[in-house]
Chain A
Amino acid sequence: MRKIVKPFLPLVVAASTALTFSATAVAEWTPKKPIEMIIMAGTGGGADQIARLIQGLIEKKDLSPRPVIPINKAGGSGAEALRYMQDKAGDDHTVLVTLNSFYTTPVIQKELGVDVSKFTPIGRMAIDNFLLWVHSDDKEITDLDSYVAAVKAAGVDWKVGGTGSGQEDSILTAMMEKEFGYEVTYIPFPGGGTVAKNLVGKHINSTVNNPAEQNEFFRAGNTKPLVQFTAERLPAYPDVPTAKELGVDIEYYMQRSLNGPPEMSAEAQAFYIDLFKQVFDSEEWQQFCVDDGLDCGEWSAGDDLAEFHAVQLKRHVELIEAVGAEAITGE
């Protein structure tokens, strides 16, 4: 239990005593039935792969007395999953694997009535990255400049694929539209895996997939990355320049975290923080992060994660204002 209390050290003494006080009860709570792990995206995408790996690691290492069951609720850019979690308020056997649509979907779709700041933060497993991908057969496109030229020449006939509208892919696409002054047609698909397949099959012209979603096709020579939207070059892609290096001020990340529904009991929250911390610290998880270009250096949980969410939420509201909600949803 001490391990969990440690990250909260900067907190005021009163708060930390309260936490240690509740620690006695914490050790006693264990799940009574299978844990539903809701994925706010379709099968085969980055979130899905992560959820299924977590499920497997929990089983393999026997970390939970009850199994974890991943369930995909991809509808409406994660709206289906968010609303499901909201309606599960107070439930101790449901957790959500998030994408950045965790922030954007409730802002764009106010009628959903979902407030994610009420959700119970558990732990951040990784920070995922974005690269710009085109098909390898597009020989004339070799770098960002030739890409922008090709998009401008094609105009709205240029088709960019992504997962859902109002989701991270569409925000990044809208940021690029604004930066380079072009307009493309954005086509939403149910998951990153389907997006990758449509790029390889040349049904779309480009995408901003995460590394995990394109890596195998890149290795097979089907697709190629042009630019990465990170602060520094990823070890997995040492030859691909970052946007910043090219003088383009676009940097975008995606958190991959676990969150409970609103009003989850503190005991259950503590159990899940401990559970996912063990997964995070496992050799298998850290290796997966290295192989798939994710950043898993820093663990963030509980109140620390809530603070991170608050900052990200504010940033996304600003981003949506800057590019306009219409540019993102394509309406």
Chain B
Amino acid sequence: MDVVLSLLGAGLLEALQPLNLTMIIIGCTVGLLVGAMPGLGSVNGVAILLPITFLVPPTSAIIFLAAIYYGAMYGGAISSITLGIPGASTAVATVFDGRPLAQSGRADKALVAAAVASFIGGTISVVLFTLFAPPLASFALKFGPPEEFALMLLAFATFIGLGGDDIPKTIFSILIGLVLATIGLDIISGKPRLIFGDISGFMHGINFLVLAIGIYGIGEMLWTLETSQGKVTVHKVKMSFSSLVNNLKEVKSYIGTTTLGSVLGYFVGTLPAAGATPASLMSYGLAKTFSKDPDSFGKGNVAGVAAPEAANNAASTGSMLPMITLGIPGSPTTAILLGGMIIWGLRPGPLLFTEHPDFVWGLIGSLYIANFATLIINLAFIPVFVKVLTMPFTILAPVIYILCVVGGFAPTQTMHDVWLMFIFGIVGYFLRKLNYPVAPAVLAIVLGPLAERSLRQSLLASHGDITTFVTRPISGTCVALAALLIAYPVYLKYKKRKLGKAAISESA
């Protein structure tokens, strides 16, 4: 442990060198802005910035890339809250409560909560990383296909809690998402599925962003147009230093959820297959399930912003672990980090920790510093982001509309996806009108392919025996937890109904 601490100390000192500190500040700012733009893609952003990294020594370069990565994780929350469009799958859960908060004029509160929760998530996870990295690396190896599937099952179980009171409608929404997720090439045999004859645009499947931007961007805008009936609405948000202090004081109301989300996010993040999306979702689901006031979730509860943001930041630190020890990057941005490592002759693998401790701990040290830097930069930018919302809807709506089209086009650069996005927007509007929860469908399209692959791999290995999911200790535990998570809201509802009946009979 002493060795680790002295290495970490050296890493921190390294990160505080003037050059490295500059790289962290530039990286965090760039990352924040890149992450805040829906669909414009951190991959392109980071790839274009890669040349800068060759002007500086390798350690500074890796610190720069890590800072961009870190900043982008913070930035994801910004478009979710201010525009209601999740720019990355990790920020979907942030929309649930972030958007209602912004619409009711409390965007500053949501943005501060997101920043603070991200900071707490980041801090807890780097500390956990420092203390438990090697044992967790070997724990992650215990996760084979059945365990991965059980984890996905757990994530799906938390959906039930997300959907509000109407459990059948939630299940319907999940199923729609799962059907959409099967479109494209079969992940095991490679055969095309559900491509409607031979429409080549369906070959690559339905991109998550197309669905998310369609439903949340276009669909929401249609809904707002209808409800406002042409009235020009301006959100009144005041941002001052005292309101910032007040918002910061509120932290204690969601510190519990945030801590839980951070720990959960870190552990889920260290598993090679999972990553930050299931982590943020599970964190949100848990926060809602165990809240004293679960009904306020989805209508603008600050804890509903803090929980997923803490978890996705913690998970992104956690996902550094499989990248360093196994060479499996958890996201396209981490893949670029991996590319950087290979160019400087650092091969990820179990020996990197022992052979290049200066690199590993320098990276971790830079995460500590990047965390502080991003918090401060983020808080400084909040008034600017909030200003966006004070624009009249007649200006804001076309801006959102253009961002949606660009965001839908950018990932695959085909018009097919833009048309698809409009269709999803219209469908999303009707689902909203008919009171169907759309979030489960969006998340099912993200997790569906992961779940399908691990399910089929497990069944191949067990020759079709489904008991493989319950007989293995880790997956068995996850399955049991999933069953409890599904049963708990059902039980609560039953109890409520009974209480309600009792109340009626009493009053009568």
Contacts and interface: CB of A to CB of B under 8 A. Distances in A.
Interface of A: 34, 43-44, 48-49, 52-53, 55-57, 59-60, 62, 67-73, 75-80, 83-84, 87, 105, 108-109, 111-113, 156, 159, 164-166, 185-191, 193-194, 196-198, 200-201, 203-204, 215-217, 219-220, 222, 284, 329-331
5 contacts: A53-B339, A56-B343, A76-B190, A187-B457, A284-B343
B343 A79 contact: no
A52 B188 contact: no
Contacts of B248: none
Given A76-B191, A80-B185, A216-B351, A69 B327 contact: no
B142 interface: yes
B185 A197 contact: no
B38 interface: no
10 interchain residue pairs of minimum CB distance: A216-B349, A76-B190, A52-B339, A203-B144, A76-B185, A56-B343, A201-B141, A220-B350, A75-B185, A79-B190
Given A56-B342, A201-B141, 5 more contacts: A55-B47, A68-B47, A70-B335, A73-B204, A76-B190
Contact of A67 (B51, B188, B192): B51
Given A67-B50, A76-B186, A219-B349, A56 B203 contact: no
B185 A55 contact: no
B118 to A, nearest CB: 25
A220 B339 contact: no
Nearest to B146: A203
B419 to A, nearest CB: 16
Contact of A34 (B44, B326, B351): B44
A20 to B, nearest CB: 34
Contacts of B44: 34, 69
Interface string B39-68: 000011001101100100000000000000
Given A83-B200, A188-B188, A216-B348, A56 B340 contact: yes
A201 B43 CA distance: 30
Given A159-B461, A197-B141, A203-B461, A34 B47 contact: yes
Contacts of A164: 190
A190 B338 contact: no
Contact of A59 (B50, B142, B342, B461): B50
B47 A43 contact: no
B235 interface: no
B194 to A, nearest CB: 14
Contacts of B203: 79-80, 83-84
Interface string B64-92: 00000000000000000000000000000
Interface in B177-214: 184-192, 198, 200, 203-205
Given A44-B329, A80-B184, A203 B47 contact: no
A36 to B, nearest CB: 9
A69 B43 contact: yes
A62 B51 contact: yes
A52 B189 contact: no
A55 B190 contact: no
Contact of A331 (B48, B144, B189): B189
Interface string B260-295: 000000000000110000000000000000000000
Given A34-B44, A331-B189, A52 B335 contact: yes
A289 to B, nearest CB: 13
Contacts of B141: 197, 200-201
A114 to B, nearest CB: 11
Interface string B340-356: 10110001111110000
Nearest to A49: B342
A112 B192 contact: yes
A228 to B, nearest CB: 20
A196 B328 CA distance: 10
B188 A165 contact: yes
Nearest to B412: A84
Nearest to A213: B327
Contacts of B332: 43, 72
A18 B219 CA distance: 56
B187 A76 contact: yes
Interface string B144-186: 1100000000000000000000000000000000000000111
Residue of B189, B327, B332, B349 with most chain A CB atoms under a 10 A cut-off: B327
Contacts of A108: 190
Contacts of B231: none
B272 A67 contact: no
Nearest to B344: A56
B191 A187 contact: no
Contact of A55 (B189, B273, B339, B461): B339
Contacts of A52: 335-336, 338-339, 342-343
A26 B367 CA distance: 46
A24 to B, nearest CB: 30
A76 B189 contact: yes
A48 B50 contact: no
A84 B47 CA distance: 21
A23 B130 CA distance: 57
A291 to B, nearest CB: 8
Interface in B352-374: 352
A185 B460 contact: yes
A196 B43 contact: no
B326 A69 contact: no
B190 A193 contact: no
A48 B335 CA distance: 9
Contacts of A57: 343
A44 B350 contact: no
Contacts of B351: 216, 219-220
Contacts of A56: 50, 339-340, 342-343
B143 interface: yes
Nearest to B205: A75
B236 interface: no
B329 A165 contact: no
Contacts of A330: 460
A44 B327 contact: yes
A189 B458 CA distance: 11
B363 to A, nearest CB: 17
A330 B188 CA distance: 10
B191 A111 contact: yes
Contacts of B48: 34, 67
B463 interface: yes
A193 B463 contact: no
B453 interface: yes
A242 B47 CA distance: 40
Contacts of A165: 188-190
A172 B351 CA distance: 29
Contact of A220 (B54, B343, B349): B349
Nearest to B337: A52
Given A79-B190, A203-B144, A329-B189, A87 B343 contact: no
Given A57-B343, A67-B50, A159-B461, A111 B189 contact: no
A72 B411 CA distance: 12
A331 B187 CA distance: 14
B88 to A, nearest CB: 16
